[in-house]
Amino acid sequence: MIEVILLVILFFSAWYLLTRTKHEVDKLPGPPAIPLFGNSLSFATSREESYKYMMQLTKTYYPVLRTWMGPTPVIHPLDPNIVEIILTSSQHITKSLEYAFISDWLGTGLLTSTGSKWHSRRKMLTPAFHFKILEQFVPVFGDNTAILVDVVKKKIKSTSGPINIVPLVTHCALDIICETAMGTAVHAQTDSESKYVSAMYEISDLIVHRMLRPWLHPAFIHDMTPTGRNFKRCLKTLRGFTNNVIQERKTEFRKNKASGKVKHGEDEFGVKKRTAFLDLLLEVSDEKRTLSDEDIREEVDTFMFEGHDTTAMAMSWALYFLGCNPDVQQKCVEELDEIFGGDDRKPTMNDLNQMKYLERVIKETLRLRPSVFMIGRQVTTDLKFGGYTFPKGTGIYMHIISIHLNPKVFPNPEKFDPDRFLPEVALGRHPYAYIPFSAGPRNCIGQKFAMLEQKTLLSTMLRNFKLRTVDPEKSSVYIPDLILRPKHGIDLEITLRQ
């Protein structure tokens, strides 16, 4: 067995050495690579260390660098002009190989699919994020952030020290996404120990662990390891929950349709009801016969994955920056006073649209702490730019956070300054210098949803509490997971606002 493994290593090493010297990607600057493993071993450390190393490379080799992940060549464009070429392309929409590990959970839904399937799904799902649909979700945002306020008030009474806001915001975001995506409640804010909640967090860690270790990439090896076994356990929990909800909603949908008593968007008494994302998928499936139960599950799971943790971290980081910048916090409060005039009602769509300064705070937060800090593509046909030609199979990683910290675009880039997004200041800025929701044909379909949710939660928190970040330096440290997370949580001193 050992002899076979050695022969395989020798074979691939020889192949690597013979082919690498002829590869176009080596014309780009980058760190030295070793046979077979490329630069993989440099990243097979802790997430924090591997991320620091990558950030160092992006600064050293700007505006574009190359690495080798095992035998796979990878280019890393950092200049907005190069990023634009890739993200605006209708050809280069296939996600990088690492997304296959997410596909084990999500299938080939909107996030991971490509080609004609992606195009048809995108076209089909776009109406689900229409203004009128999003308006139905605003009360869901308000109801669940009101629960968050109650949870925080209880925390204030029960503890005299700072409060780590991250888990509280995350559970609130999970409640929101479950209700809007599936039309069901998981009560994460009051039952954070539920199996579904725990499995969702654990599976994300397991996916990242596998991504950073090329020897776990082959499925037959991964499945034999503790990582693989734990992944399957979490997957069983997540899919079991989603499948049960789909079947319950499907039964209800068929019953209501057969009765003929329920009109679209109304209950049997003619009262307007909320339409969950799952309900819209069931309607499409019933009308056009284009979606199987598996197709529906893929899209619901994708919406759950993309729409809760990313938004939760964005809101947590926004609270961090508000707690670090009392002047910015005060400007937000003054804006909210003008909108609500002392009324303690929940925000409406019209209220949210008036929160212009808070929106700039959110945008600046996403510049410094983009939840999705890196996106990947895989070249499926020859890609040409800058006099180079990159053949099929080349990976492309766009480091959003590095792009956002470009001092040529954003002077003093580490400073938190919402006024960077004043219309007159942003005028003339390269449109691909700021891409927290990606850009081009594969931009985030739920970015309006995310902005409305963030405005609701942040405005509700600011109307009820004063915030102060206890240890800004400690809380500012982040680690790369599937999204950008604070390593030590975010500790806030929270007091009631009179």
Residue 3: its H or E element: helix 2-20
- Under 8 Å between Cβ of 186 and 176: no
Residue 163: its H or E element: strand 163-164
Nearest Cα residue to 76 out of 442, 390, 412, 434:
390
**Interatomic CA distance for residues 110 and 120, integer angstroms:** 10
pLDDT digits (tens, 9 = 90+) for 39-85: 877 777 777 788 888 888 988 988 888 888 878 888 898 999 989 98
Average pLDDT over residues 263-274: 49
Query: How confident is residue 426, by pLDDT bands cut at 50, 70 and 90?
Result: very high
How many other C-beta atoms can be found within 10 angstroms of the C-beta atom of residue 65? 22
Tell me the average pLDDT of the chain: 85
Query: How confident is residue 226, by pLDDT bands cut at 50, 70 and 90?
Result: very high
pLDDT digits (tens, 9 = 90+) for 446-459: 899 999 999 999 99
DSSP assignment of 373-437 equals: -EEEEE-SS-EEETTEEE-TT-EEEEEHHHHHT-TTTSSSTTS--GGGGSHHHHTT--TTS--BT
Average pLDDT over residues 378-407: 84
Q: What is the pLDDT of residue 268?
A: 47
Query: How confident is residue 368, by pLDDT bands cut at 50, 70 and 90?
Result: very high
Tell me which of 29-33, 115-119, 400-404 is least confident. 115-119
**Interatomic CA distance for residues 374 and 58, integer angstroms:** 12
DSSP type of residue 256: H
- Residue 32, token pair as written in the block: 């030295």
Average pLDDT over residues 357-381: 93
What percent of the chain has a predicted confidence (pLDDT) above 70? 91
Tell me which of 78-87, 356-365, 374-383 is least confident. 374-383
Instruction: Give the number of C-alpha atoms closer than 13 A to the C-alpha of residue 319, restricted to the C-beta side.
Output: 34
Q: What is the pLDDT of residue 418?
A: 97
Q: What is the pLDDT of residue 271?
A: 40
Q: Is the pTM of this model over 0.95?
A: no
Q: List the 163-164 sheet strands across, edge first.
A: 163-164, 491-496, 465-469
CATH says 24-496 is which class?
mainly alpha
Answer yes or no: is pLDDT of 438 > 80.
yes
Q: Domains of the chain: which residue ranges? A: 24-496
pLDDT digits (tens, 9 = 90+) for 162-214: 999 999 999 999 899 988 888 887 788 887 667 887 888 788 888 888 887 87
pLDDT digits (tens, 9 = 90+) for 89-147: 877 777 777 778 888 888 888 887 777 888 888 888 887 787 788 889 999 999 999 99
Q: What is the pLDDT of residue 184?
A: 81
Average pLDDT over residues 399-405: 93
Answer yes or no: is pLDDT of 6 > 60.
no
Burial 166-194 (b: 16+ CB within 10 A, else e): bbbbbbbbbbbbbbbbbbeebebbeeeeb
What percent of the chain has a predicted confidence (pLDDT) above 90? 38
Question: Strand, coil or helix: what is 265?
Answer: coil
Q: What is the pLDDT of residue 230?
A: 94
Q: What is the pLDDT of residue 21?
A: 47
Q: What is the pLDDT of residue 52?
A: 84
How far is residue 339 from each of residues 125, 334, 344, 348, 465, measured CA to CA in Å?
A: 33, 9, 11, 11, 17
**Interatomic CA distance for residues 190 and 213, integer angstroms:** 36
Radius of gyration in angstroms for the set of CA atoms belonging to the chain, rounded to a whole number? 24
